[in-house]
Structure 1
């Protein structure tokens, strides 16, 4: 299976970076099955970036959490991760809280909207996908294929 990672640089050796803000599935190396989504990640700051491609070879011995769709469990998991709570999964896969969904999640976490209001707002969003790698062992399932420069006006 081919996965994509959008970045400001070519990333031949994926790594887990601790960022300023907690992400959907906590700190990790994030990829997607959707090249257009990775391209948006790559070009979001300067309009130019790199679409990195990897072969992903699943390893069933890893501790993997999959969310096939946005569910109550997914919302609670993302809310906990966004609040800084870590987890013990090597890999987490599921829908992404994009900019709009992120705002809804943050409003839910902050108590500004109810769970019901979150679901009413979220149901009209288009599908997204992310798979995040949280341990060094999980990163060994990725093999770099290539990185190509992309722009936001292609």
Structure 2
């Protein structure tokens, strides 16, 4: 993917590797948002954070203000992009969006938003 992104946007591809102790996000030291699987809450969170016009940063379903040090959950990758576009166009509702995501293979990601550790 790094090569594809570099080809599209220019520049050189880089892969960053992090050493992270997973037990640290279970402590009370970090404000962590965890999504175990694609759910309505997760889909809303992803949509809100991708929407440049979304301005309610006090919402718990948004991290544009970095209220969460770390967000853990499914990757909203290219395989899910068509489903998100179909939802945003009003062709399916949120229940269908989430139902269809359950048939997709999703991997998890750790998204670091602050320097807290």
TM-score of the superposed pair, with normalisation by structure 2: 0.68
Instruction: Quote how far apart the aligned CAs of 1:93 are.
Output: 0.7
Indicate the SS of the match to 1:54: coil
What is aligned with 1:109?
88
What is aligned with 1:55?
19
Indicate the SS of the match to 2:45: helix
RMSD over aligned CA atoms reads: 2.4
What is aligned with 1:83?
51
| Distance in 1 of aligned mates of 2:69 and 2:85 | 25
What is aligned with 2:57?
none
What is aligned with 1:129?
108
Q: Deviation per CA, 1:23-67, whole angstroms, max 9, x where unpaired?
A: xxxxxxxxxxxxxxxxx3x22233x83332211132531100010
Residue 118 in structure 1 maps to residue 97 in structure 2:
yes
TM-score of the superposed pair, with normalisation by structure 1: 0.54
Residue 43 in structure 1 maps to residue 3 in structure 2:
yes
Higher RCO (CA 8 Å, separation ≥ 6 residues): 1
The structure that is strand-richer by fraction is: 1
In the alignment, structure 1 segments of 5+ residues that lack a partner are 1-39, 142-154
Residue 98 in structure 1 maps to residue 62 in structure 2:
no
Runs of 4+ aligned structure 1 residues displaced above 6 Å come to none
Instruction: Quote how far apart the aligned CAs of 1:115 are.
Output: 1.9
Instruction: Quote how far apart the aligned CAs of 1:68 are.
Output: 1.0
Indicate the SS of the match to 1:76: helix
In the alignment, structure 2 segments of 5+ residues that lack a partner are 55-61
Aligned residues: 98
Instruction: Quote how far apart the aligned CAs of 1:129 are.
Output: 1.4
| Distance in 1 of aligned mates of 2:18 and 2:4 | 21
Indicate the SS of the match to 2:13: strand
The structure that is helix-richer by fraction is: 2
